[in-house]
Amino acid sequence: MLYYLFEYLEKNYSLPGAGVFQFISFRSALAIIISLLISVVFGGRIISSLKKLQVGETVRELGLDGQKEKEGTPTMGGVIIIMAILIPCLLLTDLTNVYVIVMLITVVWMAVIGFADDYIKVFKKNKDGLHGRFKIYGQVGLGLLIGLVMTFSQDVVVRVPYVHAEANNYEIVKEFAVEVPQINKQAVIKRMAYAKTHLTNVPFFKENKFEYKQLIGFLGDNADTYAWIIFVIMSILIVTAVSNAANLTDGIDGLAAGVSAIIGAALGILAYVSSNTIIADYLNILYLPQTEELVIFAACFVGGTVGFLWYNSFPAKVFMGDTGSLMIGGFIGAFALLIRKEFLIPILCGVFLVENLSVMLQVGYFKFTKKRYGEGKRIFKMAPIHHHFQKAGMHESKIVTRFWIVQIMLALITIITLKVR
């Protein structure tokens, strides 16, 4: 809304200073400030309202230190993060941008699923919450939507050399010439095109690019025709996996919010370099026009999650619940897909990955040993793995801080991969 207001004032009245709203850096900084203020200022009021509604967490007895004290702590605090994301985004982004529209749908979509799960747990007194299959339906539906939009929307394009687009039978949306500076300081004019393609960035390879049709190359000429199906399936898997992994990570005070804030900052950097033609050329990564608006979305996400830590850091005054954790996972998965960095998720979301794997290994090993030896055995003292460290006697504040440090290193490694071939 503010974006359009200041655009109008600059265009029609030449208002001094109105032009700053055209700069992504300015709007991103403002987005962080607004989202932080919303989460910190209104967070306390939301927590008070949750207490009045008796929206308290029911804690299962797990034999962990300090666990009983958390009984009755307000949950569903994810609404704080959701408000801190949506309000500044509606104020500061171009709402006609296809990437912004998809991310707005993602936040609301996953928030509704998480809210339904928390509502059933709290008000219907059903500790299992929303049935697992309905969560999966929601996640699959969102992944399907994202995959189809990226496949068929004429606004979702990648800049590629015209010859490359023609040779690979890409649908060319627009062709143009661009001046490209070379290492020897000269410049050459290259014929370029905005094309519909399922190209994506992949780390450690020379060209840093991968085409989904390569996965079905055995189909020959038909690979071009069916590549979109592979991409849609990948979209579904990523959204489902990341949202569930974020949900598992939300187990101790400040862990999921802090880790997510670091991931959000890294995604914002990746979106910026992908939307800047000079930096994209320098790094030899895909240039994605219009994705600059996603930088503002990432800024709102970082501001919202960091602001939530004001109340969620140890000892937590509120838990985000599935309302927050499912939304966070869906946000990260969708964002990575939109900026075509989905193959960086195993590195960038390494903490989420380890948390998820720890549960899978624990359950799988227990079932295997029970079937083979008649008695189930465990790899960890408890899963997810953050509870293993709690069982080992480590205070949860120390666990959270160390996980944050690990996540910072993973985020830096992810960004470095853009230049490592």
pLDDT tens digit sequence for 158-180: 999 898 888 888 999 999 887 76
Q: Is pLDDT at 408 greater than 70 in this prediction?
A: yes
112 with 224, same domain? yes
311 with 225, same domain? yes
Identify whether 74 is preceded by a cis peptide bond (ω within 30 of 0): no
- Of 324, 347, 370, the domain-final residue: 347
User: In the chain, how many domains are there?
Assistant: 2
Identify whether 289 is preceded by a cis peptide bond (ω within 30 of 0): no
173 with 189, same domain? yes
Considering the domain boundaries, does residue 325 fall inside one?
A: yes
**Structural domain harbouring 211:** 28-157+202-347
pTM score above 0.85: yes
pLDDT-based confidence at residue 45 (cuts at 50, 70, 90)? very high
Place of tokens 């190209």: 199
Q: What count of other Cβ atoms lies within 10 Å of the Cβ of residue 365?
A: 15
Angle made by CA atoms 77, 84, 262, in degrees to the nearest 5:
85
- Cα of 345 vs its chain's centroid, Å: 9
Considering the domain boundaries, does residue 407 fall inside one?
A: no
Considering the domain boundaries, does residue 300 fall inside one?
A: yes
108 with 232, same domain? yes
The values of phi and psi at residue 84, to 5°, are -70, -20
pLDDT digits (tens, 9 = 90+) for 343-378: 999 999 999 999 999 999 999 999 999 988 888 899
183 with 49, same domain? no
- Of 315, 347, 379, the domain-final residue: 347
Residues 6 or more apart whose CB falls under 8 angstroms from that of 396 comprise 66, 252, 253, 314, 386, 390
Arithmetic mean of pLDDT over the chain: 90
Check residues 419 and 242 and name the one with the higher pLDDT.
Answer: 242
Nearest to 168, CA basis, from 127, 202, 137, 198? 198
> Which tokens belong to 70?
């958390």
Residues 6 or more apart whose CB falls under 8 angstroms from that of 83 comprise 38, 39, 42, 46, 304
Kindly list the distances between the CA atom of residue 152 and the CA atoms of 141, 146, 155, 326, in Å, as whole numbers in the listed order.
Answer: 16, 10, 9, 27
pLDDT digits (tens, 9 = 90+) for 306-338: 999 999 999 999 999 999 999 999 999 999 999
Q: To which H or E segment does residue 181 belong?
A: strand 171-181
Q: Positive or negative CA dihedral for 180, 182, 188, 191? A: negative
Residue 34 pLDDT: 96
Nearest to 31, CA basis, from 301, 310, 336? 301
Considering the domain boundaries, does residue 1 fall inside one?
A: no
> Which tokens belong to 314?
């140890």
pLDDT-based confidence at residue 57 (cuts at 50, 70, 90)? low
Considering the domain boundaries, does residue 405 fall inside one?
A: no
Q: Could you say which DSSP state residue 74 is in? A: B
